[in-house]
Amino acid sequence: MLNNLKVLKLADLRNTYVSELENTEHANPDYRSEKLKHKLDVYQPFKDKLSYCDMGKFQSYVVFSSSTDVGSTDVIEQTGKNLRQSIMDSYSRSPDLKWPPNPSDLPTAEDVLPDVLQKLLSYIITGKITPTLTQSHRLVQSIAQDICRAAAGGSWKLFDPATSLQK
């Protein structure tokens, strides 16, 4: 699609469209995403080449080439690679824990666990990007720790979520 991307949020596509029109007589910073979607739906070069996925109430559509299978291993593989890279980056930045650990030396989950992983797990478990209940928050952190430890081949020793929340 645009800039060799296969999947875009309609809001991002709209921002690109608005910025392209900025220096023309048709500039309109208030151009609505829904209007762009309608234009793409009826304009012949794009009419049969684009598909949309509604991301739910108060969310943008995702726009992708009709030839892209959004359930394909390509999307899953790319998401997995991105998450793994985020985990490995966090692992390489995390400090080594001294043994025996001093409670004041223990990092919080926010210090070491990848934010993108916590958001994904929170959304899967609670349906929200950020868990509102302490129990859900601890569950997200516990699962995130297990995933991080497994991704690092067991060499990433993490903290106890209950201890880190008490700081």
81 & 152 share domain: yes
**Residue after which a domain boundary falls, among 20, 36, 65:** 65
10 & 61 share domain: yes
Q: What is the 3-state secondary structure (H, E, C) of 79-129?
A: HHHHHHHHHHHHHHHCCCCCCCCCHHHCCCHHHHCCHHHHHHHHHHHHCCC
Per-residue pLDDT of 5-41, as tens digits, reads 567 778 888 888 899 989 899 898 898 888 888 888 8
For the chain, the domain total comes to: 2
Per-residue pLDDT of 34-85, as tens digits, reads 888 888 888 877 777 777 676 665 556 666 665 555 555 566 777 788 888 9
27 & 77 share domain: no
CB 103 within 8 A of CB 164: no
Write down the pTM of the prediction. Answer: 0.51
